[in-house]
Structure 1
Amino acid sequence: MAANSGTGYLCHQCAKAGGQDPFKKPTIPKKRTEKRNITTFEERRFPTLVSLCIQLITKHIDDVEALGDIGAMNVEAISKALSKNRGLTPQNAHLFYNPTNASLTLFDATNLPSPALETLVYHNANLVSLRLDFCGHLDDKAFTVFSTGLPSLTRLELLGPFLVRSPAWQAFFKSHPKLEGFLVTQSPRFDEACIKALIKNCRKVTDLRLKEIGKMSDVFLSEIKGLKLRYLDLADPTSSCSEKAMIALLRAVGKTVTHLDVSKHDLLTDGFLTKGLQAHAKKLDSLVLGHLPELTDEGVGAFFEGWKGSPPLLSLDMSRNDALAGAALKGAFKHSGRRLEVLNINGWKDVPEEDLMIIGHVGTELRKVDVGWCRAVDDFVVKAWLEGEELRGVVQGGCSRLEELKVWGCNRVTAACPRRKGLVIFGIESQASV
């Protein structure tokens, strides 16, 4: 090794004595990786006076003594704004309370403990509709107050009532025979005894959501058959219900259901589509079939082709079904394309470019589209959707009403993607380094 003085060389022993390792391999500098910058194109507008007032109120919510008569819509907007930073507390929650309230929505009740939820009931005794999101502190004691203190309640929507046990659910159903809407998400203690109590006592229920229910089983489906439902959401169970039980359920309630969500019931196959939906669902306008790995492209295409006698859908979500491709998309648009307003095919990675063009040709009523992870989507496809295509000198098609487009994972869509006033585009990967 060269000596530090710059003249001559050192043997191995002298190099070690000087604190240098002659056998040490030189380190290779790590290659710097570039981060991808995700771009969102959104039209910038001057804020309205109402939005400015809502921002001001939410910023100083702890100093506000009363909201006054500002209208239910604005109260809900303030509640939604507070939920962004979890600013709703027992101290400021009373601003939303009023004995004359018929409806109350709190979008984030994370910071409301059980006594605060009891106070909510005492100050809103005439509620007809109640929605509480992230109500993890709701326990049996507080829910018992719900049973006794809200006699007029006909619609209850809860997200995350983890602590409510089976006896409390049953007592609530017995005390509310006029219940018309019961929508609950993430309730691990909701069991077969609860669903039986619901069906026995609340025969007027038309809107039912049992989403992410850990104890969901075929017994639930056999009980639900006794209701005349309009809205049905059974998505994301811990274990899938059987296809046979699901078909039997649709045979009983399919004539009246307008919204159906059976996502992640991974035992469902193409047979459920033909023997269940095609045969018995005649009024659906919103359908969610996400994450069903047994569905095939040809089977879904054939289902839509043969779904005669049913009106076109307004909303279709078949996301996270990576086996679906062109046949399914063409079948869906042949059946519902001219009326469809919301489309989600996130994860359909193998849809060919020529089949994607049908979205712009037929979907003239589309408002929201999610084509995330569809590999063939690029700037030219988006341009054809927005502007239509010129055929024989005449521009045809085009999604002129499109308000929201999601292209997450579509790395062929660049920052040069065409844009339009009134349209928000989410997820463009500009490949720019940060």
Structure 2
Amino acid sequence: MSGRRGRSGAAVRGPTSALTSFLGNQPDPQDNTNANTEAGPSRIEEEPEPLDSDDLDARPSKRRRALSIDSDDLDAESPSAGVSTAVSSSVNTPASTSRATSVATGNGSFMNCGECGKKFTVTQYTKEHPHRPQTWLCVPCCPKLGVNAFAKKKAPAKAAPKKAAREKIVHYEVTKGPTPLADLCIQMIGKYIEEVDALGDIGSVNMGKVCKIICKSRRLTPETATLLYSVDRTELTMYDCTLLVHESYLAMANLCPNLVTLNLQYCGQMQTETLEAWGKSLRHLRHLELYGPFLVRKEGWISFFKAVGTRLESLSITQSPRIDLETIEVLVKSCPNLRTLHLAEIGKLDSEFLIPLAKLKHLHSLEISSPGGTALSDDALDTFLQAVGANLTSLNLDFNPELSDPLLVSISQHCPKLTKLSLRDIDLSDAAVQSFFDARLKHRRPGFTHIDLEKGHDLAGHSLRALIKQSDETIESLSLLGWRNVDADAVSLLAGCKKLGKVDLSWCRNVTDFTVKDIIDGCPAIKEIRVWGCNRLTDNVPRKRGLKVVGIETHAL
């Protein structure tokens, strides 16, 4: 017993019952046969670990758990019940057979080690024997068998919290089937564009698809761009020229001298000298579209316009701050045969530009949007459309904040052949738009194929009903974005537009699942419906193969 006294200062025990204390002080019956076996730990290394709060809160279980349990299960067992089981086992079992299968009991109880046979105190860290199932190890025996005696059981990984339903945006799209083999091959070519020379000639149509793929991934560089050049190429479109430099554009003109149509997007590094060189090299160019030629000064534009002269039929320029009134006057004088003219976000464009542009009598498609100078006025546009509107089939006057209802009267009177109209973010009244479509119906004007009246905040059911009545047989693309007051019944009338393929109903607050169903059922050509901000829609919105429904917000208000 002297050994027990010597350890009393180091050993820490949890709370025990009176029976446990009594049995713990009794001599072991095996002392006559094995002097090294005691009722408690035989070495200081085998002393019980301090009990935590989980051990103090443990409650007796109603039935014995399975034989193979982990440390978390041990915490649920009753200390007193475990002691009685362990003691009775030690009394009836000789030391030589103390390695027999035993049951791991509650923390603070005693049991025999499955390796050395000596008694030890069960704790939450007690480990099962790696080679003898259902037997347990004391602390000193764990290192011998390569077991970490104090390793805690890893807590199960917490599931990632679900995002709030308010943040959930659902897009519905049903595809037509597997991707064609030809498209898969083209995608592979785009991935390994640097080695496309090994394939030889893959055709201009497929090369155009390859160009779109590599531009989407921003891999169009001065090196890869040369793979798209060819002396027999007459049409070239590059969708992202961000990485091309001035020399790339010079090489393009030298290696593709027979270009008739050229479309370059994001061509911010193009310089004045580029256009001057093009005027000399591209002697067959008739159609030019440039997006973002910021660095080109007016000297470059003037030189180019004089060089291409009367053969230029189509010109589209977006975001060029250096174009001024003198540049426009040279354009009109040198290129009188223009049929398409698109000027968007031009730095100094204002109503004075309309005076020389009124001399372009052959215009079929016109865009003057987002002017950078003084806003265009209704009176100036009326005079201008009176001069050029007779042959116009497409008109875009987006983002001209000073325009209003009189503009519709001018369009109705001077543009009899118009079939495409875009008037985004222009302050128009519901009554004026209704009168506009009623007048076109009365005078038997052709129906519209494309109409964009985005952000017509004051437009509602009367405008839409008149629009459908006049263009129900022709309309293919329609944007009603921001028509917050239009009623669902009026929107459902779009079911009578059999050619409608794309419609934007974003922020039309009265649209419901039934409204979308009416459009889907009545429009066999429908391919895309945009419904951002239509918060009455649910996850149950109808869908069909080949249709994209974009922008469903599934949260409930």
TM-score (norm 1): 0.87
Out of 282, 287, 292, which is 2:416 matched to?
282
SS for the counterpart of 2:411 is helix
**Hey, what's the Cα distance between the residues in 2 that align with 1:71 and 1:378?**
47
Q: 5+ unaligned residues in a row in structure 2: which ranges?
A: 1-162
Q: Does 1:75 align with 2:207?
A: yes
SS for the counterpart of 2:346 is coil
Q: Could you tell me which residue of structure 2 aligns to residue 393 of structure 1? A: none
Q: Does 1:314 align with 2:449?
A: yes
Q: Does 1:181 align with 2:321?
A: no
Out of 20, 38, 47, which is 2:169 matched to?
38
Instruction: Figure out how many residues of one structure are paired with residues of the other and give that number.
Output: 388
Deviation at 1:309, TM superposition (A): 3.4
Q: Does 1:376 align with 2:510?
A: yes
Identity between Structure 1 and Structure 2 (%): 37
Out of 471, 476, 500, which is 1:341 matched to?
476
Q: Could you tell me which residue of structure 2 aligns to residue 202 of structure 1? A: 335
User: How has the CA–CA distance of structure 1 residues 414 and 219 changed in structure 2, closer, same or farther, with 3 Å as cutoff?
Assistant: same
SS for the counterpart of 2:263 is strand
Deviation at 1:305, TM superposition (A): 0.6
**Hey, what's the Cα distance between the residues in 1 that align with 2:395 and 2:532?**
26
SS for the counterpart of 1:153 is coil
Cα deviation code 1:149-182 (max 9, x no counterpart): 1111111100000000111100100001110011
Q: Is the 8 A contact 1:66 1:95 kept in 2?
A: no
Which residues in structure 2 correspond to 1:17-36 (within 5 Å)?
35-36=166-167
Q: Could you tell me which residue of structure 2 aligns to residue 326 of structure 1? A: 461
Out of 237, 250, 267, which is 2:402 matched to?
267
Q: Does 1:365 align with 2:499?
A: yes
Q: Is the 8 A contact 2:166 2:553 kept in 1?
A: no
SS for the counterpart of 1:329 is helix
Deviation at 1:33, TM superposition (A): 5.8
Cα deviation code 1:23-75 (max 9, x no counterpart): xxxxxxxxx96542211111232111111011101111122225643332222
Out of 409, 417, 424, which is 2:541 matched to?
417
Q: Match of 1:198, as an amino acid?
A: L
**Hey, what's the Cα distance between the residues in 1 that align with 2:283 and 2:206?**
26
Q: Is the 8 A contact 1:260 1:286 kept in 2?
A: yes
Q: Is the 8 A contact 2:509 2:534 kept in 1?
A: yes
User: What is the RMSD of the two structures over their aligned residues, measured on CA atoms?
Assistant: 1.4
Deviation at 1:91, TM superposition (A): 0.7
**Hey, what's the Cα distance between the residues in 1 that align with 2:164 and 2:241?**
41
Which residues in structure 2 correspond to 1:33-182 (within 5 Å)?
35-44=166-175, 45-65=177-197, 68-177=200-309, 178-182=311-315
**Hey, what's the Cα distance between the residues in 1 that align with 2:199 and 2:210?**
10
Q: Is the 8 A contact 1:41 1:424 kept in 2?
A: yes
**Hey, what's the Cα distance between the residues in 2 that align with 1:143 and 1:115?**
12
Q: Is the 8 A contact 1:288 1:317 kept in 2?
A: yes
Cα deviation code 1:286-324 (max 9, x no counterpart): 11011002x101111111111223200011111111111
Q: Could you tell me which residue of structure 1 aligns to residue 519 of structure 2? A: 385
List structure 1 segments (4+ residues) > 2 angstroms apart after TM superposition. Answer: 32-35, 66-73
**Hey, what's the Cα distance between the residues in 1 that align with 2:329 and 2:465?**
42
TM-score (norm 2): 0.68
Q: Could you tell me which residue of structure 2 aligns to residue 230 of structure 1? A: 364
Out of 245, 248, 251, which is 2:383 matched to?
248
Q: Could you tell me which residue of structure 1 aligns to residue 435 of structure 2? A: 302
**Hey, what's the Cα distance between the residues in 2 that align with 1:208 and 1:169?**
15
Deviation at 1:429, TM superposition (A): 1.5
Q: Match of 1:402, as an amino acid?
A: I
Q: Could you tell me which residue of structure 2 aligns to residue 29 of structure 1? A: none
**Hey, what's the Cα distance between the residues in 2 that align with 1:187 and 1:66?**
39
**Hey, what's the Cα distance between the residues in 1 that align with 2:401 and 2:432?**
16
Q: Match of 2:291, as an amino acid?
A: L
Larger Rg: 2
**Hey, what's the Cα distance between the residues in 1 that align with 2:481 and 2:224?**
40
SS for the counterpart of 2:457 is coil
User: How has the CA–CA distance of structure 1 residues 315 and 66 changed in structure 2, closer, same or farther, with 3 Å as cutoff?
Assistant: farther
- Segment of structure 1 superposing worse, 161-170 or 326-335: 326-335
**Hey, what's the Cα distance between the residues in 2 that align with 1:409 and 1:74?**
38
User: How has the CA–CA distance of structure 1 residues 67 and 368 changed in structure 2, closer, same or farther, with 3 Å as cutoff?
Assistant: farther
Q: Is the 8 A contact 2:166 2:554 kept in 1?
A: no
**Hey, what's the Cα distance between the residues in 2 that align with 1:318 and 1:48?**
37
Q: Could you tell me which residue of structure 2 aligns to residue 14 of structure 1? A: none
Q: Is the 8 A contact 2:165 2:554 kept in 1?
A: no
Cα deviation code 1:321-360 (max 9, x no counterpart): 1111111111111111221011111111110112212111
Q: Is the 8 A contact 1:67 1:95 kept in 2?
A: no
Q: Does 1:353 align with 2:485?
A: no
